[in-house]
Amino acid sequence: MTDLATPTSLRPEPTATAPAPLPEREDLDAVLAGHRREITGYCYRMLGSSFEAEDAVQEAFLRAWRSYDRFEGRSSLRSWLYRIATNVCFDALGARKRRERPMGLGGPQAPEAENLGQVLPEETWVEPVPDDRVLPHDGDPAQVAVGRETIRLAFVAALQFLPPKQRAVLLLREVLRWQASEVAELLDTTVASVNSALQRARATMAARAHWDSSGLADGAETAPAPVASNAGLGEEERLLLERYLDAFERYDMDALVAILHEDATLSMPPYPLWMKGTADIVTWMTGPGYECEGSRMVPVAVNGTFGFGQYRRAEGGGHEPWALQVIETEDGRVTAINAFLDTASWFPLFGLPARLDD
């Protein structure tokens, strides 16, 4: 495990100016709770797993609690917590393989049930996350937009291809807007090393997630902002959500195709199978996936965009959980339907009911 002793670079030097007051130990739990959402978002981006991020935050806060008497306040408490959380993430990343999406494990396959493959373990997959676990409720609009963009599944999956240090540098510099000198202090390295890591990370992200951070320095948005809640949807996104919901619940394939991108994908973790193109998606949905007809959908805010808890008709009446759908969009079209089938894990996390009655 990473040594938790407060590093020399974070210990205060004698100064005529008193350091900022630190919380009393009895107030520390409340202070840590105030940082939970943003640090969970950081750990989620680092690790690609909502549950692993929660565990990382718990471990980071435990380390902070145990070592608080050694924290002397030269850096801010927030910076110190990020340092601890970064070390926790580095420890976790050193002990496992990279998380993937089905699209990262092989090419698209024909829409046939025998191509589903075996169920792969949870640690294989980049996982969804509820917006309210990782995104601020308000703040600077441009920064909020960046926060939403950088929890999209495609972005988080691309992050997993970066070495841990590059991953941390990119997030601290581009998402959290830290200065290079602050990142260098946190990572016990030099500004030149931070800048070099950032350039390499940018190149990888540009290739894998079309990430362009050129406008971040002056606060400009890099892409249209996805939304954190259905109430906050822009008009185009709201209409797309309504059209998708209507088409899926009516199981109207013509209406669904009308809003799908021609190269849209359908995936179903924990199975490795994925399909590409409207023809194969419709073939699957009217063939092996025919039992999804008659589903009911409950909207959720997930990964900076919209999604649904999907409930299939149950024997004896009512509807039972089937999938957490995370919908990816671009230019007014649905580009990906990601159906996460482990409803025992995902529905409680998103506060979805265990059953829908007729």
- Shortest CA distance to 153 belongs to which of 351, 348, 340? 340
Chain centre distance of CA 309: 17
User: From CA 353, how far away is CA 287, in angstroms rounded?
Assistant: 28
Tokens of 107: 């090419």
- Shortest CA distance to 25 belongs to which of 79, 70, 82? 70
Alpha helix (H) residue ranges in the chain: 28-47, 50-67, 77-93, 131-134, 141-149, 153-159, 164-170, 180-186, 191-209, 235-250, 253-259, 278-286, 343-349
Question: The whole model's pTM is what?
Answer: 0.87
The DSSP bridge pattern shows strands 260-267 and 333-340 to be parallel
Per-residue pLDDT, averaged over 124-150, amounts to 89
Look at residue 220 and tell me whether its pLDDT is greater than 80: no
- Shortest CA distance to 346 belongs to which of 326, 316, 331? 326
Q: What is the pLDDT of residues 37-95, one digit of tens each?
A: 999 999 999 999 999 999 999 999 999 988 888 887 777 889 999 999 999 999 999 98
Q: What residue has token string 């640690």?
A: 123
Supply the pLDDT for residue 292: 97
User: From CA 92, how far away is CA 98, in angstroms rounded?
Assistant: 11
Residues constituting the chain: 358
Tokens of 265: 């994908």
Per-residue pLDDT, averaged over 249-264, amounts to 98
Q: What is the pLDDT of residues 283-304, one digit of tens each?
A: 999 999 999 999 999 999 999 9
How many Å from the N-terminal Cα to the C-terminal Cα in the chain? 52
Burial bucket for residue 159 (CB in 10 Å: 0-12, 13-18, 19+): buried
Supply the pLDDT for residue 19: 45
Supply the pLDDT for residue 116: 95
Q: What is the pLDDT of residues 144-178, one digit of tens each?
A: 888 889 999 999 999 999 999 999 999 999 999 99
Supply the pLDDT for residue 84: 96
Supply the pLDDT for residue 348: 97
User: From CA 325, how far away is CA 308, in angstroms rounded?
Assistant: 5
